Amino acid sequence: MVSIKKLSPLLLVILLSLFALTPFFQPGFFSMHDNTQVERVSEITNSIKDGMFPVRWVLNLGFGYGYPIFNFYGPFPYYYASFFAFFFNVLIATKIMIASAIMLSGIFMYLLAKEFWGKKGAILSALLFVFAPYHAVNTYVRGAIGELWAYAFLPLVFYGIWKSYKEKKWKYVVIGSLGFAGLTASHNLSAFMITPFILALIMFLFFYSDQKQKIYIGLVFLLGLLISGFYWLPAILEMGYTNVRSQVGGGADFRDHYVCISQLWNSPWGFGGSAKGCLDGLSLKIGKIHVAFAILSLITALILYLKTKKINKQIIAIVIGFVGLFFSIFLTLKESSFIWEIFKPMEYIQYPWRFLTLISFFISFIAGFILFFVNKVKKIKLIENSLLFLFLFVILLFNTKLFAPQFSEIKAVGFYTNTEHISWETSKISSEYMPVDFIKPSSKDKIQKSKITIIRGSGTFNIKENKANKLTVGFNSNQDTLVHANIAFFPAWKLYVDGALKEYQKTNSGLEFKLKEGKHLVEFKFEQTLIEKIGNILSFSGLIILILGIIYSYKRNEKAS
């Protein structure tokens, strides 16, 4: 059984991380750029209650026409929140979703850094990672919840790869692959940015690996891809059905959002948006404290190397960390434009400053070397604890103030779950996954009140079922009719009339179909596409391989004992 003493460093990380969460313990909810989080949690929870899993469609977003948001936008954080929404209200579930990501970032960084710097160095790295300025920007300014969770999973992926290489145990393949799957299913753009760094580490370790090590660290990546296949495969291959291309270029053209190098050192704190040039409305600084620790870690690493002339895992980790740090910084600057222009898919990243995720990761990680160095030098080892607490005090003193919203509002939970509010105010914020030619309502009054409209002919209808994955309507008409269903087009929607599959016409405001005179039962069913089904099979296969590996490892260990 793990003793409290062994857990005390991790408990300290958790305790101090709470200083980043004080707004979550206050009533109400705070403002952010992507001010749709509670509504999204409400919608995904309702879709699950309707029997849809994986959730690819929600009922009320998309101006009431439905919206395939979780087919394209990282669903994992919202699945996590929906679990709590079954026990608490959606506002509390949303707070838990965001706060958990912040807490886990420190826990996972501690696990990784402890492998190289020891417990005290790991505490320093973990708290720097939690209190990085960009972490505060994502939480309280942008409200970038997918990126927040990807940020948390990042050190867990590296931890899983390293431990799989070092110990050749299946449990670390499980940890690493689930970490990579979680990262990918939280934010596909973050996964796109981070994957080259993960592959670079794997290739580096391959040079020093035996056959078993190569298999284990390779499986971390491959199984992570498989497990998250339910998400990334449709997100890539079905993107053409949406208007997501509208998010590339224009005001989100990466060419207009390179970081000025002075901004990385210091830029004013603000709650505005990204702008062309050096006068952004939000802060893009790395953090002076973080930079100071990085410089100190470089100096101490040089001293240790010159003193011992040994290249151990700590020296290698520092070198890799600085290479990753400098390359990440380079990718935020205009000088890297040739890379952005050559690799066209990078335009989907939109903002080069998004690489601050990796900058914060690398700079926080390498800072822990300082206390590793102190521990190795006998003359100053006695002040190791004092230095640690001094460092932690400085971090909390200067960076806790960043973890605060612009303002908070106290609203009833019903405000966030109100159908009219979601169909208009929330839908206006995010509509990029609507069909390309879809005509958005010009005002709240133009939103259709019913899912069904009779265009031509006459008759009566009765909506029997209106769920995220199914619309059932009974019709009684005394002549042939043309009917309009207020459902946004997506290829997963199938039309059944009296149990028989029928065709419908896609329009720029929904789906149209014809009915013969008489009584009919009409059903629109959301049936996953072939691509979505293949993605599900990939995920299921990955999980089966993980489970079989766990069973095999357990039986092998049982025999050995």
Omega of the bond prior to 352 within 30 degrees of 0, cis? no
3-state secondary structure of 522: strand
As a whole number of angstroms, the distance between CA 45 and CA 47 comes to 5
As a whole number of angstroms, the distance between CA 555 and CA 503 comes to 54
As a whole number of angstroms, the distance between CA 31 and CA 408 comes to 6
> Residue 526, exposed/middle/buried by CB under 10 A (0-12, 13-18, 19+)?
buried
- Single pTM value for the model: 0.95
3-state secondary structure of 519: strand
Instruction: Give strand pairing partners of 454.
Output: 483
Residue 336, token pair as written in the block: 């890297």
Output phi, psi for 42, to 5 deg.
-60, -45
Q: What is the pLDDT along the chain (561 residues), one digit of tens a residue?
A: 566 777 899 999 999 999 999 999 999 999 999 999 999 999 999 999 999 999 999 999 999 999 999 999 999 999 999 999 999 999 999 999 999 999 999 999 999 999 999 999 999 999 999 999 999 999 999 999 999 999 999 999 999 999 999 999 999 999 999 999 999 999 999 999 999 999 999 999 999 999 999 999 999 999 999 999 999 999 999 999 998 877 776 677 899 999 999 999 999 999 999 998 898 899 999 999 999 999 999 999 999 999 888 899 999 999 999 999 999 999 999 999 999 999 999 999 999 999 999 999 999 999 999 999 998 886 676 788 999 999 999 999 999 999 999 999 999 999 999 999 999 999 998 888 999 889 999 889 888 889 999 999 988 999 999 999 999 999 998 899 999 999 999 999 999 999 999 999 999 999 999 999 999 999 999 999 999 999 999 999 999 999 999 999 888 877 776
Centroid of chain to Cα 177:
16
Domain at 448-528, CATH from 2.40.128, 2.60.40, 3.40.50, 3.40.1350:
2.60.40
> Residue 335, exposed/middle/buried by CB under 10 A (0-12, 13-18, 19+)?
exposed
> Which DSSP string corresponds to 340-368?
HHHSGGGGGG--GGGGHHHHHHHHHHHHT
Which amino acid is located at 156 in the chain?
A: L
Q: Are 276 and 287 in contact (CB under 8 A)?
A: no
Domain spans of the chain, in order of start: 4-409, 448-528
Q: Are 140 and 23 in contact (CB under 8 A)?
A: yes
